[in-house]
Structure formats: structure tokens, C-alpha cells
Amino acid sequence: MMLRTSLLGYPRIGEKREWKKALESHWAGDTSSEELHAEMKRIRLSHLQKQKDAGVEWIPVGDFTYYDHILDTATMFGFIPERFDYEGGQVPLDTYFAMARGNKEIHAAEMTKWYNTNYHYIVPEIENTTPSLTENYLLNAYKEAKEELDIEGKPVIIGPYSFLKLAKHYKHSDFPELLENLTKVYSQLFTELADEGVQWVQVDEPSLVTTIPEEDITLVSKTYETLNKEVPQLNLLLQTYFDAVSHYEKVSQLPVAGLGLDFVHDEGKNLHAIQSQGFPKDKVLGAGIIDGRNIWKAKMKDKLVLLKEIQKVVENDDQIWLQPSASLLHTPVTVKNEPDLDETLIQALSFADEKMIEISTLQKLAANEASADSIELQENEQIFADLKAKGWRQEEPDRTAFKEVSRTLPYEERRKEQLEKWQLPTLPTTTIGSFPQTRDVRRLRARFKKGELSNLEYQAAIKSHIETWIKHQEEIGLDVLVHGEFERNDMVEFFGERLDGFAFTKNAWVQSYGSRGVKPPIIYGDVRFKAPMTVEETLYAQSLTDKPVKGMLTGPVTILNWSFERDDLPKQQVAFQIAEAIKEEVSALEDAGIEMIQIDEPALREGLPLKREDWQTYLDWAVHAFRLSSSHVKNTTQIHTHMCYSEFQDIISAISALDADVISIETSRSQGDILETFEDNVYDKGIGLGVYDIHSPRVPSEDEMLHVIDRALSVLPADLFWVNPDCGLKTRNEEETIAALKEMVSAAQKARNKVTS
């Protein structure tokens, strides 16, 4: 009997971002819907062929999407908000994209983080919708793979429990009834798949690794009992990832044919669960042994030891599917497109395509009794010996313990000094930091990197863009300005390129949301400050205006969470190294006379562990890292921070503990839902709730923004409130940006008149 191999999902973006380019060409009006569909099919089939060529036995289908897999599920089940004028049947492509991105008339659906990752999903809106099957996307995907490539695919879909947990706009008390109604539609979906001859369906239930109440497990049991009763001939693999499954004893007894567990990010809990409580003899175990989220090659000797422990519990090898710990959506496509990286580092990296090879290698090693002496194992061990020999991985003292750091004065006292220093009006206006990264700006950076421009020519061009946008900001009437970040390709990559311990790729793109991709830096060694990174541009901007210009930095926790971190040190130790480096940059700005400094931490919330019992440990070190980078400044130096698209209700006390003088948080796309947090919690520091959604091309009206401001002022004191967009403006064009900011300033002035009259 032989171990089988499986994938949970494959990156959509393409080796050279073909997927992104196809979407953006269509959105720009350069290609028709027919041309988009044809290109998407070509990309989709090429991805499936890759997996087939790599020898993957259970290849996922239906994980490919035109924007987001949760949006796909919502539209497949007819969850279309009323504002989109949906009349039933197959959802039009324009409606699909409008839900994702908005349009000139309608605001988009909310977007938020996918569990504890940097991927964003479109939040389903349940409202009063009765679910129905508008189109069986999974059936189409299965048939295409079989007919075009002779692949017996494994359809993948988010499970009904997790789908509802990720959704909004329903009463908590209605959850059982909604789940029951949704289960009926899943039954219909699965029946159609079974009738077509589908053997296995991967049903993702990542919410089962979160802290969930006992009564929810009862609902989950009822759900899968119904599905098993309605479609007994279909094998369901209930797949979990990102942490250890909660309530293992009951989840393992659900009437499904298989259970997928993460043996990488579970801190050993899943292994302990199967060892102490056993594993059902009638189920397949999807063993997530290869890391699906980080990019380091697996230490095969360690993985074989883990696998042998699993095999002691699951005695029949054909019951074990070797697979990544999560969908490979979270990794770049292939290492082969990174020829400029250090050869030692390249050998140690494993992206999506290489992880498929690792799974195959692990399968072969497990089948070979003499594997301990195999060439594959020897070569694998040499990779990590070479890393150590480079001196990149020093034996550092344990720095996970930390002493409290704090500002000299508490907020209320230093605020008095800041009010006197800055003399800002009530409801001051500002932006989050970046301005449009136009084609000209991107071309400018590319030419400089290629050596086509001298440093002097490049700096002159950057300064020209700064001059333009300082002038725009003054004409618009903003109170606190920014330099625009035209020299920055990415808010993490920019800083990593200027610090020790980071490596950078050319084509290792990962989807963040929609067509937006990021290239996470690779932290391979100790992080250290080298020289000031932002002082020159910020000082130049400040020289052009009498209004304050904020210094713009990325915080240590975000740099860590948005990088592929080294795996030989505790995360918090790496965070503290980064914090020390950012602290040096804060000092350099302050010494240069820049005394309003924003240290963005948009990824602080996404790093929160999925189980509540683990939260406090993470928040303690995350808050400490931020304070380590910012608490040494003068009383009059105003520290800002920014967070976007996350659920902040659960961590409001930790946000306050950051002790930033001003924090800006998204509120526009969620239509002000975050405001409920401040109805129940007192927040006593400066706060800006983003009054419009920058991810949509739509320019909201003054009245819409005034409504958000008025609602915010019903729960927040006017003397602490700031007015700003909900995120940076790099993805928008100049015309949209100026128009929206003018409306925002006008709305702020009207609100200011109300509260000061």
C-alpha cells in the first residue's frame, strides 16, 4: 500500500502574473469578456497540467477564481446584496466584479483578512437572502479538468459552517436556521457532483481551528449528518488548516470520508490529538506535513520522523494523503524565476512548484526502507549546513523575554504639549501616506533599478513628484501632509531592502486581494539598521510647506507578518530585531526635525492566533515590539499608526496599549460597523476612522463622508477625531484621488462647523 499525494489549492496569480494582467486588461476596457474567459481558461488549464506533471494524485479543481473564492461561493449561492439589482440566475460578470471592487454608483462588499494571513476575502452579506444554486461552478471545473486534461479532479469549496462564520449581516440567533438552509443548497451542489461521478470533494472548514463553543460543534455535526444522508455516495474530505483543530474527538467522528489536519502550524497539538485519541479506521487522513505558508525547504529527516509518528496511528498507508499544510495560494509560484538570488539561499527555498516536488520526494523516501542513507536526504541536510556556514544564522541569546517600555508621559499629559505645539483645527484632515503610483512612477523606479538613470536623476524625478503632491495637498486643504512615498515599491519591501537580514525576489508574487500582488521579503538572517531610510524625502517635502509632514514608516509586526520569516528563531525575537531597527529610523527622523511620525501596523491584527487562549501571548509581544520602536521619542513628537481591513473589536485594549497618539482604522467599507466597538468601549486617544473606501474607483460624495463622520462623532469625542481615507492611495489615479480628497475635506469642514458652533 502506498501513501497518496494531494494539494489543497494552487496559486492563481501565474508565474509572471498572467492572471493579474488578464483581469486588469479587462477592467481597463482593453479586452472583452470573451477574451477574458479564454485567457482565464488557458491559465487555469496550465496550472492543472503543472500539478499533473508533478505527479500530484488528488488535484484540486474549483480553487481557481476571477477574484476571490469566497466571493465565488457567495455568488454561486445567490448571496447578492440588494444594491446590485440582481434578478436571479447566473450572476453577470459585471455584477461579480462590482461586488468585489464597487463601481461609480455602488460601493463594494466589505473586504477583510483571511484568518491570520495577508490574503483578503470579500465578506458575504447574508441579509434576507434565501440561498439557491445559481450555477454549479465546481461541476464546471471538474468537467473541464476531466475533458481537457483527463484529470480526475478533487473539487474544493469552503464548508457551510466556515462560510457563515465569515459572513455578515445576520443575527447571531439566526445562525442555526441559516446553516440549515445553506446545508440544503450544499446537498444540491454535492448531488450534482455525485451524479457526474465525482469521487472526492474537499470541504474546507478552517473555522474549526478557532475557539468555538460546544453548541457550534453540535450544529456542525448536524450539518454533516445531513450531507452524508443526502449524498452518501460522495466522499467528503473535511479540511482544516492554519492551526490545530478544536474539539478533535467530536470532529474526527463526523460522518465524512476524510479529515485534513495541519501538522506544521499546530504546535504539535494535532499530532498529540491523534496519538492520544486515535484516528478513525474508516477515514483518510489528509496529513499537512509540508509547510504551505512559508518558503523554506522542509528538513526531510524531521518530516520523516513526523510521518512515522502518524503512521503508528494510521496503520494503512493508503489512508494517508501527503499534502501541504494549507493551500499554496499563500506562496509564490516557482523558485526557477529567481536567478539573481544567492545560490545558497536559492537551494534553501521552496515555492509552490517546489513544494509539489517535496511532497513527491517525501512519498518516495517513506516508501524506501533505506531512506536514511539516500542521496536526497544527504543533499537536503547539506542545504541547511550551507546556510549555517554562511554565517546568516547566528546563535543569538534568547530575547523572547522583555522589559516594559513606555513614553515619558501618559497620553493625556503629552497630548496637552502636542496641542500647543501643532495648533491643528478640530477634526484635522490627513491621508494614510501614499499617493498614486502611476505608470510614470513605476517606470521611473524600474529604469533606476536597471541603471538607466543615475542616482542624481532619479532623486530629482522623485522630488518633482513630491513637489506636485505637496502642492495638491495644500490646494485641497489637508491639515497634515505626507510626501507621497513615490520612491517605494511596497511598504515592507522598501524597508527590507535597506536593512540587513532581508533578501528580495523579482517574480515571487503572492496574491493579497483581487489582482493586487505582493512580493514578501525573505528574512534569512539577523535584522539590523544600516543607515537612515526615509529622512531625505520627508525632509524635502517638509521644506516645501509650512504644514506638518508626517514621516512614514512600516511597523515591526507588519514587516514580520508580511515577510517570509526565518524559521530558526521564535517570531517575537525576529520582531524585536526589526523593532530595534525601526527605532533607529524614528530617531533619525526626529533628529532631522520631523516630529510627526506614522508607524503603520496594518498586519498586527492578522497575526492574532486563531485560538483565543493564545491571543494574550501574541498581543503582549506585538505591543512590546511597537512600543520598542516608538516610545523613546519626545513628548511633543506625535506618533501615528494605521490598521486596515480587520476586525478590531476583540483587540481594542491592545490597540490602546500601543500608546500611539493617533490611530487610523478602516470604517468605510464595513459601513461603519467598527463604530459599534466604541459604543461599548472607551477609547481615549486620537483616532481616525477612514471615511471612504480607496479600493474602489468610485468617488463618494461629501454627504456620504459626512454621514460617516457624524456617526463616528456620536460615539467618539470631536477633540480626538481625525478625518482620513481608510488606506493609502497608491492604487488610485490622480483624478479620483484629488476629487475624493476634496469631498473629504469639504465634509470635514462642515462637520467642524457643526461641532465648533
Q: Which residues are catalytic?
A: 695
93: nearest Cα among 9, 31, 21: 31
**Length of the chain, in residues:** 757
State phi, psi for 80 to the nearest 5 degrees: -110, 115
Q: How far apart are CA 517 and CA 496, in angstroms?
A: 17
571 is in an annotated binding site: no
727 is in an annotated binding site: yes
Query: Are 253 and 226 in contact, with CB atoms under 8 Å apart?
Result: no
C-alpha cell at 717: 469625542
642 is in an annotated binding site: yes
CA distances from 676 to 107, 166, 514, 578, 631 (A): 21, 18, 28, 34, 30
257: nearest Cα among 222, 282, 221: 282
Helix or strand (DSSP H, E) at 121: strand 120-122
Q: What angle do CA 616, 618, 622 make, to 5 degrees?
A: 115
Q: How far apart are CA 609 and CA 654, in angstroms?
A: 14
118 is in an annotated binding site: yes
Q: How far apart are CA 597 and CA 590, in angstroms?
A: 8
535-543 and 455-476 are packed helices; what angle lies between their axes, rounded to 10 degrees? Answer: 50
**Residue 479 DSSP one-character state:** S
**Residue 258 DSSP one-character state:** E
Q: How far apart are CA 380 and CA 390, in angstroms?
A: 16
Query: Are 560 and 519 in contact, with CB atoms under 8 Å apart?
Result: no
State phi, psi for 9 to the nearest 5 degrees: 175, 160
C-alpha cell at 20: 493579474
Would you say the C-alpha torsion 701, 702, 707, 713 has a positive or negative sign?
Answer: positive
Query: Are 323 and 8 in contact, with CB atoms under 8 Å apart?
Result: yes
C-alpha cell at 680: 461599548
562 is in an annotated binding site: yes
Give SS3 for 306. helix
711 is in an annotated binding site: no
Number of neighbouring beta carbons within 10 Å of residue 526? 18
Q: What angle do CA 86, 90, 91 make, to 5 degrees?
A: 45
End-to-end CA distance of the chain: 81
Residue 258's DSSP bridge partners are 237, 284
Beta strand extents in 691-748 (DSSP E only): 721-722
Q: How far apart are CA 326 and CA 292, in angstroms?
A: 5
Q: How far apart are CA 728 and CA 659, in angstroms?
A: 22
- Cell 527590507, residue? 496
C-alpha cell at 189: 451542489
485 is in an annotated binding site: yes
CA distances from 60 to 5, 10, 108, 208, 732 (A): 11, 8, 29, 21, 35
What percent helix, strand, coil does the chain show, rounded to 5? 45, 15, 40
433 is in an annotated binding site: yes
Would you say the C-alpha torsion 161, 167, 171, 177 has a positive or negative sign?
Answer: negative
Give SS3 for 598. strand
17 is in an annotated binding site: yes
52 is in an annotated binding site: no
C-alpha cell at 334: 516557482
**Could you tell me how far CA 178 lies from the centroid of its own chain?**
28
136 is in an annotated binding site: no
**Residue 297 DSSP one-character state:** P
Q: How far apart are CA 550 and CA 537, in angstroms?
A: 11
323: nearest Cα among 236, 241, 205, 206: 241
Q: How far apart are CA 640 and CA 731, in angstroms?
A: 22
Q: How far apart are CA 122 and CA 475, in angstroms?
A: 35
Query: Are 50 and 151 in contact, with CB atoms under 8 Å apart?
Result: no
Binding site for 5-methyltetrahydropteroyltri-L-glutamate, residues?
A: 17-20, 113, 118, 562, 606
Annotation: binding site for L-methionine: 432-434, 485, 600
Annotated binding-site residue numbers for L-homocysteine: 432-434, 485, 600
Annotated binding site for Zn(2+): 642, 644, 666, 727
Binding site per annotation, positions: 17-20, 113, 118, 432-434, 485, 562, 600, 606, 642, 644, 666, 727
